[in-house]
Amino acid sequence: MATPETTTAYETTGARASGEPMIRFEEVLKKFGDLTVLENLDFDVAPGERVTLIGPSGSGKTTILRLLMTLETLTGGHIWVDGEPLWHMPKGDKLVPANEKYLRQVRKKIGMVFQQFNLFPNMTVLENVTEAPIRVLGKSRDEANEKGKELLERVGLEAKYEAHPSQLSGGQQQRVAIARALAMEPRVLLLDEVTAALDPELVAGVLNLLREIAETTDITMLIVTHEMHFARDVSHKVMMFDHGQVVEHGPPDKIFTDPDHDRTKAFLHAVIEER
């Protein structure tokens, strides 16, 4: 875990109230042994903004999401979520490495949908959606069930409450995973190649669901995808990564139609040719 120098304490009033970014990376460093994956990475995501990270495999995109979910440990720098430091906590006028209790509190603000669905096979669809709100948010079972059923109806699975994951298609399982993430009422939703494990005929349905969520909520989204049409449709901003650095960023129409950097042009040409 990073051990920063003395840093002034930060007012934790929430990003929307304070006008701060919902997500901020400041000189973030991530190493795996001798391999540097992210180096001096700086970027902001505004409240309600939808940002897509594109770039070749190994460029650091998924590592960014995993750092936000505290699934990987920060090597250096600072990350802020909703006006609060993520990997560090205020102590007097300093920031010190966060303890597990603090991490759990900040992590409640963040939901993530993975490539693999990661559903509990021994639980019903409804139980998969309600387990975390009951255990982590302290909701009553009745309240969690009511909200869970609303979300499953929203994702088109109202007839599958009592089914188990093994009885669902891949697309249906991913819809459950999306409902499960939304059940935690996150301020930030991370999407990591959510269609990568799906059969091609199931991809459009999941992407359409995510478009609908993007259009009807103010959740801040950080998206990693190779679905360039989807990225263009839902993003406010696109960031092109290579070797752990932002090569360029801008509105989707600019990045996809007239990118400035040769590396972006080559990547988009290769991805679009594959499709």
Residue 9 has pLDDT above 50, yes or no: no
Q: Per-residue pLDDT tens for 246-265?
A: 999 999 999 999 999 999 99
Among candidates 61, 56, 53, 58, which has minimal Cα distance to 248? 53
Among candidates 178, 192, 171, 187, which has minimal Cα distance to 54? 192
Q: Which position has the token pair 């059923």?
A: 149
Q: Is the dihedral of CA 133, 196, 33, 96 positive or negative?
A: negative
pLDDT score of 181: 95
Mean pLDDT along residues 208-235: 93
The distance from CA 218 to its chain's CA centroid, rounded to whole angstroms, is 14
Q: Per-residue pLDDT tens for 41-76?
A: 999 999 999 999 999 988 999 999 999 999 999 999
pLDDT tier for residue 16 given thresholds of 50, 70 and 90: low
Residue 19 has pLDDT above 90, yes or no: no
Rounded-to-integer distance, Cα 85 and Cα 134, Å: 26
pLDDT tier for residue 275 given thresholds of 50, 70 and 90: low
Sheet strands side by side (includes 245-250): 110-113, 188-192, 220-224, 50-54, 237-242, 245-250
Per the model's pLDDT, the better-predicted residue between 172 and 3 turns out to be: 172
Q: Per-residue pLDDT tens for 72-129?
A: 999 999 999 999 999 999 888 899 999 999 998 899 999 999 988 889 999 999 999 9
DSSP 207: H
Residue 8 has pLDDT above 60, yes or no: no
